[in-house]
Structures are given as C-alpha cells and as structure tokens.
Amino acid sequence: MPLIQHRAGLSDLAVIQRSNPERYPFLLQSTASGGEAANARYDILFAFPGERLRLSSEGDLAGQHAGQQDDFLTALDHWWQQESVAVAADDTALPFQGGWFLYLAYELAGQIETRLRLPPLPADQPVAEAVRIPAAMINDRLHNETLLLAETKSAALMDKLCADLDSACHSQARTKKYRAITMQPDPASRYLQQTQRVKRYLYEGDVFQVNLSRKWQAKRPQDLDTADLYQRLCEQNPAPFSG
C-alpha cells in the first residue's frame, strides 16, 4: 500500500511541473469532473522517473528490461511481473498508486498485427515508451484536495514532494508574449480526393466506416516551451486537446 498525504485544496500542478520538468516529466489533466467513481475527476503529476523501456521508430528496443527481442509488450509484461504487488480489494480507489507511465503510438499495432504496413514515424519519435514512476501528486476535484503519493519502498520521496508543493504555493504563474505559431495544412485537393474515394467505397459496400483526417503541421517559435503552450491552450479552449 503506498504512502499518502492529504492536503486541503487543489494545487497548480502545471506550475510544479514547469519548475522541475526532469523531476515531474508527465502531467495528465482533465476538464471533466464526474462522480465518485469517475477517473475524470483527477489530475495526476507523475514524479521521479526511473528506468525506461523504449521502442524506437527503427524498431529497436532499449532499456535494462528490453530482453533479447524487440517486442515491447512482452518485455513490459515481464517487467511488470517482476515488480507487481498485491492490492487489497478496498485499496483501488485512486487511479494511480505507483507503477509506470506509458506512451503508446498507433504504430505499436504493427507489433500486434504484423501484416500491417504503417508509415514510419520521425526518427526522434518513439513507437512506445514505459517509464517507471514511484510517486505522484494527484488533484481530486470532487473532494477538493491534493494527494501526495509514494510507493512504500520510495517513502523517502515524500519529503521532497511536500517541499516542492509548499514551494509552488508561493510561486506566480508566468505571463509571456510569443510570436504566432505558423500552421501549414495539407492541400485541400488531397483531402477532397480521399473523401470521394471513401464515398465510393461506402457506396460499393466495401466498408461501413472510415476515419479520415486532414493533416495540419504547426511550427512554434523556438522560445516557446511546451508548458507555456499548454497554459495558453488551457486559457483559450474549454478542452485543450479535443478534436
């Protein structure tokens, strides 16, 4: 069972993440609330990243737990079996109690269904990555509180979590102006041609549903970091990443 401290009120997890992105690399937030059983009521700031398992765009698996083959899911399962612990039936309320942060690109499907022929990802973008995470800060909007959490064997991290949270309470959110982000969409003609093809497939009964999208590429100013970009999205949009 992890160690948990409760603090009254919600905390600005984005400010904490920005203050030390190496210590707090991942932040999951929701604009929804939900009821007692809904995970949407939580925001999670993952802390103190440890070992990693990474599948590159070239198909190479790297990390201490990579094993002999470049099979990400099998290697992750073996790693989980080595570190998994029993959880009591009444000890599963929180959405995270220690474990891993996972990034899984759509292209990982190629390791499950090997017949798929998927376009390659950019060289610097992984297909999948698992990062061991022993601690976290969690906002619970339903109960209006912040929870500090650390796995039992990482109990020493709790003091650092408390210190970082206390320090953030005295921090001011930065405001800074940036040059505009430039956007470049794919040609409209290509999208319209694909739409006509889909309509033909539907008419002929070859398919019943097709997901079709138009690609937009954005170029951000070099001095605009991702934390600032996310803050601006939150300020301007009710749901920053909704399609």
The mean pLDDT of 5-9, rounded to a whole number, is 95
Residue-range definition of the domain harbouring residue 193 = 182-236
Same domain, 195 and 230: yes
Same domain, 96 and 201: no
Residue type at position 107: E
pLDDT band for 92, please (50, 70, 90 cuts). Answer: low
Number of domains in the chain: 2
Out of 143, 168, 193, a domain closes at: 168
- Is 242 a domain residue? no
At 23 the pLDDT is 98
Same domain, 46 and 92: yes
**Highest-pLDDT range among 22-31, 112-121, 225-234:** 22-31
Please list, in sequence order, all residues whose beta carbon lies within 8 angstroms of the beta carbon of residue 220, skipping any fewer than 6 positions away: 181, 229
28-49 in b/e burial notation, b at 16+ Cβ within 10 A?
A: bebeeeeeeeeeebbbbbbbbb
Same domain, 134 and 207: no
Q: CA–CA separation, 65 vs 156, rounded Å?
A: 25
pLDDT digits (tens, 9 = 90+) for 127-150: 999 999 999 999 999 899 999 999
- Is 177 a domain residue? no
Same domain, 157 and 218: no
- Is 224 a domain residue? yes
At 208 the pLDDT is 85
Same domain, 122 and 81: yes
pLDDT band for 239, please (50, 70, 90 cuts). Answer: confident
- Is 85 a domain residue? yes
Out of 168, 195, 228, a domain closes at: 168
pLDDT band for 215, please (50, 70, 90 cuts). Answer: confident
Question: Residue 62 belongs to a domain with what CATH number?
Answer: 3.60.120.10
- Is 176 a domain residue? no
Dihedral sign from CA coordinates of 27, 24, 125, 98: negative
Same domain, 11 and 58: yes
The mean pLDDT of 175-186, rounded to a whole number, is 79
Tell me the C-alpha to C-alpha distance, in Å, between residue 77 and each of 64, 82, 89: 14, 9, 22
Same domain, 209 and 161: no
Same domain, 203 and 90: no
pLDDT digits (tens, 9 = 90+) for 37-91: 678 889 999 999 999 999 999 999 999 999 777 899 999 999 999 998 877 666 5
- Is 241 a domain residue? no
- Is 33 a domain residue? yes
Out of 118, 144, 168, a domain closes at: 168
Same domain, 103 and 196: no
At 30 the pLDDT is 83
Same domain, 28 and 85: yes
Using an 8 Å Cβ cutoff, are 142 and 35 in contact? yes
Same domain, 105 and 151: yes
Entry pTM: 0.83
User: For the residues of 200-214, what is the DSSP string, one character each?
Assistant: HHHHHTS-S------
